[in-house]
Amino acid sequence: MSRYRQAVRVRVREWDPRSASDEEIRSLVETLNEVLAADLPDDPPWQDVQVREYLAETMPGERRISWVAEDDRLPEGTGKVFGHVTLLLLGDIGVLEVLVHPDLRRRGLGQQLVAVAARRAYLEGFSSIGVEAIGDTPAIPFYESLGFEKEYVETRNVLTLSSVDWSALSTMAGGISAGYRVEYHPGGPPESLLEAYAQAKLEGQDGDDNDLDLRPSSSDPQRLRDSLDTLHRRGLKPYIVLAIHETTGTVAGLTELVVPAQHPERADQYDTIVVREHRGYGIDRAIKARMLLELRTAEPGLREVQTWNAQHSESMLKVNAELGFQSDRDWYEYIADVAQLVQRLEPTN
């Protein structure tokens, strides 16, 4: 019998990480790590480092609202955090993240957390709500049972740095066609390249209409500045590698990676983009290989890099395989109509 399943009574309340006690933050991290141990046992556990900032900071124009589930028998903020939900109000969609302690699953707590967030999204005037769900975890049947519909799928790929052939990687980093140079910029691109960088992101995006864009990228100079500033405040250390077309000085390709303070042994690789007219010159492979070479020195404690790719992105999947990435599991994006979701979850008398 689980240590919580018998006697716990749970209440859900709105919660602000900025004013939360250190005890609450630690308890939330403990619950998150117990969820990871159950659902993603190969993922590194989180550390209680800049977690408050990670949860509180958002991009300008975006808002995040949070709730926690805690022991109803104890004063607020003094007991175990059993569950957590955030609603990120992002453009024209609300994005959910739901966390429920494994010992309290299948008791209605997850549904209660989704209901309170959906109700807020409805009151805020949002018509759609999206969520990411990880393949081969209980999240898939849970969201489908609530009426969420699958809209998009991508595959997570993980590279274990101890398995890398660094000599071969160095050759790949140099395998770019003449007329291009590769630049490494820890912390973010310099101000002089921000406009060209933003233009490359705008031109190089595939424009996949099936992607719900739950992790939006930045494609104008000011939003890039704001995005980089937000990353730093959230404890995410950015690294950028660019391919510069020497004749024009334009950014022909880019790859972005962050090392989170919360799990510094595994980095997250974000966008890797090559502008269409510069494709076919070995840029994607060269910039990703250069990134890994730089990280070897810049982040000696780093053990793994994870990235996500659409299943139709054959060229990038091929590059990742050449670099040594291994396919891990699928990541799904689901969407639901807010009004219908609220109605479905409305308690009945």
By CB neighbour count within 10 A (0-12 exposed, 13-18 middle, 19+ buried), where does 337 fall?
middle
Q: Is the pLDDT of residue 13 over 90?
A: yes
- 134 Cβ partners below 8 Å, 6+ apart? 39, 40, 140, 329, 330, 331, 332
Mean of pLDDT values over 54-75:
90
What digits encode the pLDDT tens for the residues 229-280? Answer: 999 999 999 999 999 999 999 999 999 999 999 999 999 999 899 999 999 9
pLDDT of residue 346: 85
Helix ranges (DSSP H) in 7-100 = 22-39, 51-56
- What pLDDT does 222 receive? 87
Burial of 271 (0-12, 13-18, 19+ CB in 10 A): middle
Are residues 58 and 95 in contact, defined by beta-carbon separation less than 8 angstroms?
A: no
- What's the pLDDT at 213? 46
Residue 175 and residue 167: Cα distance in Å, rounded? Answer: 13
Q: Mean pLDDT of all residues in the chain?
A: 91
Neighbours of 320 (CB within 10 A): 25
Please tell me the predicted confidence (pLDDT) of residue 8.
66
Residue 87 binned pLDDT confidence (cut-offs 50, 70, 90): very high
The answer on pLDDT for 182 being more than 50 is yes
In this predicted structure, what is the pLDDT of residue 262? 98
**Res 79 pLDDT > 80:** no
Pick the range with the lowest mean pLDDT from 15-19, 186-190, 215-219.
215-219
Q: Are strands 326-337 and 149-160 parallel, antiparallel or unpaired?
A: antiparallel
Kindly indicate the confidence band of residue 211, based on its pLDDT and cuts at 50, 70 and 90: very low
Query: Is the pLDDT at 81 greater than 80, yes or no?
Result: yes
For residue 255, what are its two tokens? 């790859």
Domains of the chain: 10-154+333-345 (3.40.630.30), 165-323 (3.40.630.30)
Tell me: the pLDDT tens digits for 90-128?
888 999 999 999 999 999 999 999 999 999 999 999 999
Residue-wise pLDDT tens digits, 21-63: 999 999 999 999 999 999 999 999 999 999 999 999 998 889 9
Contacts of 111 (CB under 8 A, 6+ apart): 146, 345
The pLDDT of residue 132 is 96
pLDDT tens digits, 146-165: 999 999 999 999 999 999 99
Q: How confident is the model at residue 345 (pLDDT cuts 50, 70, 90)?
A: very high
pLDDT of residue 212: 42
Q: How confident is the model at residue 202 (pLDDT cuts 50, 70, 90)?
A: confident
**Count of Cβ atoms closer than 10 Å to residue 235 Cβ:** 20
Encoded tokens for 238: 């950015």
Residue 4 has pLDDT above 60, yes or no: no
